Chains A and B, each alone.
Chain A
């Protein structure tokens, strides 16, 4: 697994140096905006009320918590899978693809290393996102349920 570990370390070093803080902030903002937009919709459009229909179908009255789970899953998909898929494109752009192709390292450990980095990074971001969502959770809990409109 030395290839996976080395690729994880390499990805971490390169990302940290290329985007010292903007990478993490930028990806986190995706979730923040998703939840923020839902929050705005809840307040500005729905008037802060949760319909009984939503409560019935979602099984919860915690609207922002519901959105946060979706935003977290979305971030995992976008940054975990998409970034892993992009690994080869990055190698091609950097000009290192040829060096990788002639090396005896197998593809799976390489991709696992890249995935490990992508999923670790996104796990931290989702944790931060959930913490932020939890801090605003009390605001989204409505003391009453509005009927279906």
Chain B
């Protein structure tokens, strides 16, 4: 890790890492926010001259400056979690381990946390995020490892994972006057075209064929009642991987 051997140099490695876990943990309930940060600063042997301004900076970062002198037991769940984030940053870690950091947080607080994490990554910090919230993973992670039943299933960027699992953009066109002639035209357009009830024509394709498909429908005499483009998500890719894994196990 960063040129250090965690087994031979655990002390040096610990100085450069920190951990933030979800679920209101990792801070002392009967101490104030500032006291908690001071204590953990001592555990990391941070000089007082550095620690004092850093505590204030972190309290401001997580929006707890006004509650710094309040005991954690009087904090709301979100405030406790935000303090836990500040604690995780007390040693200005080069590598940050995040274990479900937004678990149980209100949406605005979770969004703020994601902003903080994204900012850390932009500043060159290494962030390892473990999460079941796939939208969060998709938003924050450049490289994703998929683990299922304790086994490593796949790895790559979210886009690569989606491509690997055949998850592509879906174009959904609603035709108000669907006729056998239009059906034949769209089937001839691409073999991946699927006809759904209600005059809906779906095409899942790696290339963007929205314009070409709608043109083909109009040329066949079709009238467009609606157009929907659904981008693939990491969740789709994970579900596809999960299905494949189940098939392998079966």
Contact = CB atoms under 8 A, between A and B. Distances in A.
A39 B45 CA distance: 51
Instruction: Give the contact-size bracket for chain A.
Output: 20 to 34
Given A104-B11, A104-B15, A99 B44 contact: no
Given A13-B30, A17-B30, A104-B11, A98 B43 contact: no
A95 interface: yes
A111 to B, nearest CB: 13
B30 A3 contact: no
Interface in B142-170: none
A10 interface: yes
Given A6-B43, A104-B44, A94 B28 contact: yes
A136 interface: no
Contact of B18 (A3, A13, A95, A102): A102
A6 B21 CA distance: 23
Interface string B9-45: 0011011011101011111111100010011101111
A105 interface: yes
Contacts of B71: 17
Contact of B39 (A10, A18, A95): A10
Interface in A1-37: 2-3, 5-7, 9-10, 13-14, 17-18
Interface string B89-108: 00000000100000000000
A100 interface: yes
B87 interface: yes
Interface string A84-97: 00000000001110
Q: What is the interface of chain B mostly: helix, strand, loop, or mixed?
A: mixed
A13 B31 contact: yes
Contacts of A106: 11
Instruction: Give the contact-size bracket for chain B.
Output: 20 to 34
Contact of A14 (B11, B28, B42, B44): B28
Contacts of A100: 43
A99 B15 contact: no
Contacts of B24: 95
A149 B3 CA distance: 79
A44 interface: no
A9 B45 CA distance: 15
Residue among B12, B18, B28, B31 with the highest chain A CB neighbour number at 10 A: B28
A114 to B, nearest CB: 13
Contacts of B40: 99, 103
A5 B42 CA distance: 9
Residue among A7, A10, A100 with the highest chain B CB neighbour number at 10 A: A10
A2 B25 contact: no
A104 B31 contact: no
Given A96-B27, A98-B25, A3 B42 contact: yes
A2 B42 contact: yes
9 contacts: A7-B39, A10-B31, A10-B35, A18-B30, A94-B28, A94-B29, A104-B43, A105-B44, A105-B45
Interface of B: 11-12, 14-15, 17-19, 21, 23-31, 35, 38-40, 42-45, 71, 87, 97
Leading 10 A-B pairs by shortest Cβ distance: A95-B25, A6-B42, A104-B14, A103-B43, A105-B43, A99-B26, A17-B30, A14-B30, A104-B15, A102-B19
